[in-house]
Amino acid sequence: AITYGGTGPPGTASQTLTEYYNGSSWSEQADLNQGRFMGCPATLGSQTAALFAAGAYNGTDQVNVESWNGSAWSEVNNVPTAKHSYAAGAGTQTAALAIGAGPPNRALVASWDGSNWTDVGELNTGRYFNSAAGTQTAGLTFSGDVDNTFTANTEAYDGTSWTELNNLNTVRATGGGAGTQTSALMISGNIPSPTSTQKAETEQWDGTSWTEVGDVATARTRPGSTGATATNAMITGGYSPAGPIITNTEEWEISNFTVKTLTTS
């Protein structure tokens, strides 16, 4: 896995750090050109071909986009609006979506073809601090902040337009997303009332509905990395109730199965 950017303890600058995960430990790699946090990094690419779109630097929204080739970051074309700084990302380094915008909430969606961004079909429910999964032509977004009212809304993208689907069981925002349009995870996040509270809940999407599954050990918001599949994902970093900043990494895997040979007659 790869994680990049983020924010440090209160009073420190937004981070330029990039780190690799080899299954047991993290190692530092070449830094970003522009330090920032949030933005659209989640699921956008792989350890050797990643993309970081928008984000915020010390409270200032950013439009710049950087591409990772496995050894260094290079600046590529900007997103259409800095409001994507608090949106979700889905896809790959050369075929991605920036989903949602704000604050204030906006329904904007931009598509990346490896060279340029194009505004495409808007969400039915505008939001930011949302999570996402899937690809450029089969995307999924869920959760989010609709101007201080959190949502459980889920929408799917067919390459042209968005369709509303069944909601999450727990309303929340600023969590992690992993997987595809038909098999996804919503990991952790926070709820707005009575006070902003980090949640440990994980929900699994089967293409039709969400089901509560195993909780994370450390509840958190704004995780740094959540993987690309719903059956073998991970989550690292973020804000925890005891934090505020944590370095904790957790791995997710589906239940083990036993294969049995059956004789029929």
Condensed to tens digits (0 to 9), the pLDDT of residues 154-186 reads: 999 999 999 999 999 999 999 999 999 999 999
pLDDT at residue number 244? 78
Condensed to tens digits (0 to 9), the pLDDT of residues 3-52 reads: 999 887 777 788 899 999 998 999 999 999 999 988 886 557 888 999 99
**Contact call for residues 185 and 234 (beta carbons, < 8 A):** no
- Taking the alpha carbons at both ends of the chain, their separation in whole angstroms is 48
Statement: residue 226 has pLDDT above 90: no
Q: What is the dihedral of CA 63, 61, 172, 90, to 10 degrees?
A: 10
Cα distance between residue 113 and residue 168, in whole Å: 30
pTM score, whole prediction: 0.90
**Contact call for residues 16 and 31 (beta carbons, < 8 A):** yes
The count of C-alpha atoms lying within 13 angstroms of the C-alpha of 170, restricted to the half-sphere facing its C-beta, is 25
**The amino acid at 39:** G
Statement: residue 256 has pLDDT above 60: no
**Contact call for residues 52 and 94 (beta carbons, < 8 A):** no
User: Which of 241, 232, 140, 146 has its CA nearest to residue 190?
Assistant: 241
**Contact call for residues 140 and 134 (beta carbons, < 8 A):** yes
Phi and psi at residue 103, to the nearest 5°: -80, 155
Range of weakest confidence among 120-129, 136-145, 190-199 = 190-199
**Contact call for residues 155 and 173 (beta carbons, < 8 A):** no
Q: Which residues pair with 4 in a beta bridge?
A: 18
pLDDT at residue number 255? 63
Helices (H), the chain: none
**The amino acid at 5:** G
Range of weakest confidence among 68-77, 231-240, 249-258 = 249-258
**Contact call for residues 93 and 50 (beta carbons, < 8 A):** yes
Within 8 A by CB and 6+ apart from 2, the residues are 18, 19, 20, 21, 29, 45, 46, 47, 50, 68, 225
Condensed to tens digits (0 to 9), the pLDDT of residues 83-118 reads: 878 889 999 999 999 999 988 899 999 999 999 999
Within 8 A by CB and 6+ apart from 264, the residues are none
Three-state DSSP state, 162: strand
Statement: residue 53 has pLDDT above 60: yes
- Maximum Cα–Cα distance across the chain: 72
